[in-house]
């Protein structure tokens, strides 16, 4: 069924993928995306408005009839800020946010599942889980995929597998990715070799908001590149194995930093603490970078007073569209920087810098 | 008379030119320097060791016999850090600090008067006063000049005036200068035209430690360039007049900043506050710049908890040689940054950021 909910209500809550911390350490979340298309229609890039409308209608009816509740937004009905808000929450892609008609998204109430309609492919199922839970994310995506497949005729080729708009997704249509916080490797300037190494084994490293986004706040998304010639389980297992290695690298880097130059690490954390607690203006990029250092401080036991989940939510809630939704008004960039700084100062009131007295 | 005092005792106190604040606002201190040479000797750059020794001996005896107490340091007896310490306190020039023999300095106990021997000239009298007190500084310099002239035969030419090692000082041998804190003009990026304008009327703008020093911490020394063809009083009056104009420019700049972009000013001050209160490592250049902003905050009533004099003393006491003297040990640059940050954090414990709640 479709559950009506305003975006204003949505920003009052936090996606469950941030609420229930599973892992401590560098892993933020795990995500799986499945690309699917319908047999009797052109891919969205070539389909007529009528065809896209038919697909939207079919899927809307399908979700309406499901036992589980889904929220639903059609892009054409949303102002820019609202689309940006869904993007900031990782519920839709930038590509969908830019589309004009007959496309939208169905989202589960816990926000751990989002199905985009008429993005690059007719259907893109994505599931998101806190911590390193790639298998669980894959299973959840697979379940909804099975449900949809019972009602829809997927474009499927016996030899190639699932057919997709972009050849790079043909086969499993699967992209699995993990968001990692790697400040230790960045501080030691070891991310470049890591990125190179990962590229060579068929994985990609991207920024916090996926393809084309910069790695602000030391946040990196690692994902599979190859979707063909490998089973889903194999893809997921391979990624998980590499992520575990990356986690070990990062933990090593942090230990080395603490061993070789503890004062530099403390200074780094203390400065971020001081700026977050006092600044009157704060751009979103700077906020992400300072929050990254604060998170490192929390992981290292140098900062206390709040949970990892509360702090991770700030990565989302300090973004431009969220800020404006919370303020219930359109804000010029300078005004956003003011409101963002205020939000961060309020958050920092409960924070304690444990290295203060050393 | 000569009063024996160790440099360790010296760093425990603060020069009186910082202790008694006369002006509020941008003026830190006023200084006058008189260059004098003795008739029967080559200038120090050309004089033999014997000649320089004779000059040192004569002046030492002269100061020993005076009623007033003077501290005395001969450069050759001082390790590098101690020379640097006198330089940081504005008691000697970098040139004197680098000299090897038969040169030194006599300093009054309140540190408002320092007479360098065998620097570029045989005798350089300098007087320093808090705030805008150029006339008082000139009168003080003139008094000691008269005292010395009773016992010494100055090199003087009826038409040219006092003869000096460098032709640029011939005539009065007078350089008057005022140290100004001009963060408003710097923030508005209006210092370049000001510096150009000042150069055109025969004045020079330099950094905090005089010739060749950079303008860190928004501190500028404005001084006369011309020493010939003008009376002392005329030189001093002209400089004072220009300084008053500069002060007005600076106050205007601050008002404009507060009027046009108060949040930017508050953010600037709050960030400096946060960094000074939390950083674990702090280089001396950064410290000067952050202290400059803190001082602006104090002037604008946005920061409280300490006096202007206490804060101005930090400009001196956080410098490398002072830090090492206070710690009573030689420190590597990184260790100095650690100790400096600690000193600043301790200072900041009594500071309050009044804009915190706005």
Q: Is B340 on the interface with A (CB under 8 A)?
A: no
Answer yes or no: do B277 and A275 touch at CB < 8 A.
Answer: no
Alpha-carbon distance values, B301 to B22, B184, B246, B269 (Å): 18, 15, 21, 11
Average pLDDT, chain B: 90
Answer yes or no: do B278 and A270 touch at CB < 8 A.
Answer: yes
Answer yes or no: do B280 and A338 touch at CB < 8 A.
Answer: no
Is the pLDDT assigned to residue B216 strictly greater than 90?
no
Which uninterrupted H or E stretch holds A217? none
Q: What is the mean pLDDT of residues B96-102?
A: 85
- β-strand A161-162 against A27-36: which pairing, if any? unpaired
Nearest neighbour of B280 by CB, restricted to A266, A279, A345: A266
Answer yes or no: do A280 and B274 touch at CB < 8 A.
Answer: no
Answer yes or no: do A277 and B273 touch at CB < 8 A.
Answer: no
Token match 């960045």: residue? A186
For chain A, the domains span: 7-255, 261-353
List pLDDT tens digits, range B276-332.
999 999 998 899 999 999 999 999 999 999 988 888 888 888 999 999 988 888 888
Nearest neighbour of B270 by CB, restricted to A263, A266, A280: A280
Please tell me which residue of chain A has the smallest CA distance to B272.
A275
Compute φ and ψ for A204, nearest 5 degrees.
-120, 150
- Chain A CB contacts of B353 below 8 Å: 278
For residues A326 and B249, give the distance between their C-alpha atoms in angstroms, rounded to a whole number: 42
For residues A155 and A47, give the distance between their C-alpha atoms in angstroms, rounded to a whole number: 14
Which is nearest to B220 in space by CA: B179, B188, B176? B179
Residue B21: per-residue pLDDT: 55
For residues A113 and A115, give the distance between their C-alpha atoms in angstroms, rounded to a whole number: 7
Answer yes or no: do A263 and B280 touch at CB < 8 A.
Answer: yes
Q: Is B349 on the interface with A (CB under 8 A)?
A: no
Q: Which residue intervals of chain A are DSSP H helices?
A: 7-12, 16-19, 49-65, 80-88, 94-97, 134-149, 183-187, 191-200, 232-260, 262-278, 284-299, 308-317, 320-327, 333-348
Task: Report, as ranges of residue numbers, the positions in chain A whose pLDDT lies below 50.
Answer: none
Residue B227: per-residue pLDDT: 80
Nearest neighbour of B281 by CB, restricted to A267, A279, A355: A267
For the CA atoms of A147, A151, A155, A160, the dihedral, rounded to the nearest 10 degrees, stands at 40
Which is nearest to B278 in space by CA: B169, B170, B351, B177? B351
Sign of CA dihedral B207, B210, B211, B213: negative
Answer yes or no: do B278 and A341 touch at CB < 8 A.
Answer: no
Residue B18: band (very low, low, confident or very high) from pLDDT cuts 50, 70, 90: low
Is the pLDDT assigned to residue B17 strictly greater than 80?
no
Token match 């699967």: residue? A174
8 A C-beta contact, residue B341 and residue B57: no
CA A234 to chain centre: 22
Best mutation target among A266, A280, A282, A357 (most B Cβ atoms within 10 Å) is A280
Nearest neighbour of A264 by CB, restricted to B267, B281, B355: B281
Q: What is the mean pLDDT of residues B167-176?
A: 90
Residue B63: per-residue pLDDT: 94
Nearest neighbour of A278 by CB, restricted to B271, B281, B338: B271
Looking at the DSSP bridge assignments, the partners of residue A180 are A27, A220
Is the pLDDT assigned to residue B19 strictly greater than 70?
no
ipTM for the complex? 0.84
pTM for the model: 0.86
Residue A176: per-residue pLDDT: 95
- Chain B CB contacts of A278 below 8 Å: 270-271, 273-274, 277, 353, 356
8 A C-beta contact, residue A115 and residue A209: no
8 A C-beta contact, residue B174 and residue B224: yes
Looking at the DSSP bridge assignments, the partners of residue A130 are A29
Answer yes or no: do B280 and A270 touch at CB < 8 A.
Answer: yes
8 A C-beta contact, residue A181 and residue A292: yes
Q: Is A336 on the interface with B (CB under 8 A)?
A: no
For residues B154 and B186, give the distance between their C-alpha atoms in angstroms, rounded to a whole number: 43
CATH fold group of domain A7-255 = Creatine Kinase; Chain A, domain 2 (3.30.590)
For residues A217 and A286, give the distance between their C-alpha atoms in angstroms, rounded to a whole number: 8
List pLDDT tens digits, range B25-50.
899 899 999 999 999 899 998 999 99
Best mutation target among B263, B278, B300, B355 (most A Cβ atoms within 10 Å) is B278
List pLDDT tens digits, range B231-271.
889 999 999 999 999 999 999 999 999 999 999 999 999 99
Q: Is B290 on the interface with A (CB under 8 A)?
A: no
Which is nearest to B78 in space by CA: B58, B108, B98? B98
For the CA atoms of B108, B110, B113, B116, the dihedral, rounded to the nearest 10 degrees, stands at 50
For residues B79 and A10, give the distance between their C-alpha atoms in angstroms, rounded to a whole number: 68
Q: Is A333 on the interface with B (CB under 8 A)?
A: no
For residues A115 and A107, give the distance between their C-alpha atoms in angstroms, rounded to a whole number: 6
- β-strand B104-107 against B219-224: which pairing, if any? unpaired
Long-range pairs for B328-333: beta carbons < 8 A, 24 or more residues apart: B328/B8, B330/B81, B333/B283
Residue A210: per-residue pLDDT: 66
């Amino acid at each position: 069924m479709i559950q009506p909910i305003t975006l204003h209500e949505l920003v009052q809550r936090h996606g469950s993928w941030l609420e229930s911390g599973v892992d401590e350490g560098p892993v933020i979340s795990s995500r799986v995306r499945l690309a699917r298309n319908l047999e009797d229609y052109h891919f969205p890039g070539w389909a007529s408005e009528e065809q896209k409308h038919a697909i939207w209608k079919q899927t809307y009816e399908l979700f309406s009839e499901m036992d589980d509740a889904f929220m639903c937004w059609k892009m054409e009905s949303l102002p820019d800020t609202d689309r940006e808000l869904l993007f900031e929450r990782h519920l839709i892609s930038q590509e969908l946010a830019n589309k004009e008609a007959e496309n939208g998204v169905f989202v589960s109430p816990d926000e751990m599942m989002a199905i985009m309609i008429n993005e690059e492919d007719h259907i893109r199922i994505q599931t998101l889980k806190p911590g390193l839970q790639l298998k669980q994310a894959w299973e959840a995506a697979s379940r909804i995929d099975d449900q949809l497949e019972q009602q829809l005729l997927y474009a499927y080729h016996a030899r190639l597998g699932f057919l997709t708009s972009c050849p790079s997704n043909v086969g499993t249509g699967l992209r699995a990715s993990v968001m990692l916080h790697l400040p230790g490797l960045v501080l030691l300037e070891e991310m470049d070799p890591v990125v190179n190494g990962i590229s060579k084994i068929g994985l990609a490293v991207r920024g916090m908001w996926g393809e084309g986004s910069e790695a602000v706040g030391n946040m990196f998304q690692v994902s599979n590149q190859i979707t063909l010639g490998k089973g889903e389980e194999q893809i997921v297992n391979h990624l998980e194995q590499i992520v575990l290695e990356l986690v070990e690298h990062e933990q090593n880097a942090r230990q080395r930093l603490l061993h070789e130059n503890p004062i530099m690490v403390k200074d780094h954390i203390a400065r971020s603490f001081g700026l977050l607690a006092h600044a009157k203006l704060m751009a979103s990029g700077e906020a992400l970078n300072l929050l990254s250092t604060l998170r490192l401080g929390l992981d290292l036991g140098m900062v206390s007073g709040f949970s990892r989940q509360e702090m991770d939510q700030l990565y989302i809630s300090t973004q431009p569209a969220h800020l404006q939704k919370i303020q219930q008004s359109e804000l010029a960039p300078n005004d956003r920087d003011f409101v963002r700084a205020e939000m961060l100062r309020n958050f920092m009131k409960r924070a304690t810098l444990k290295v203060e007295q050393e």
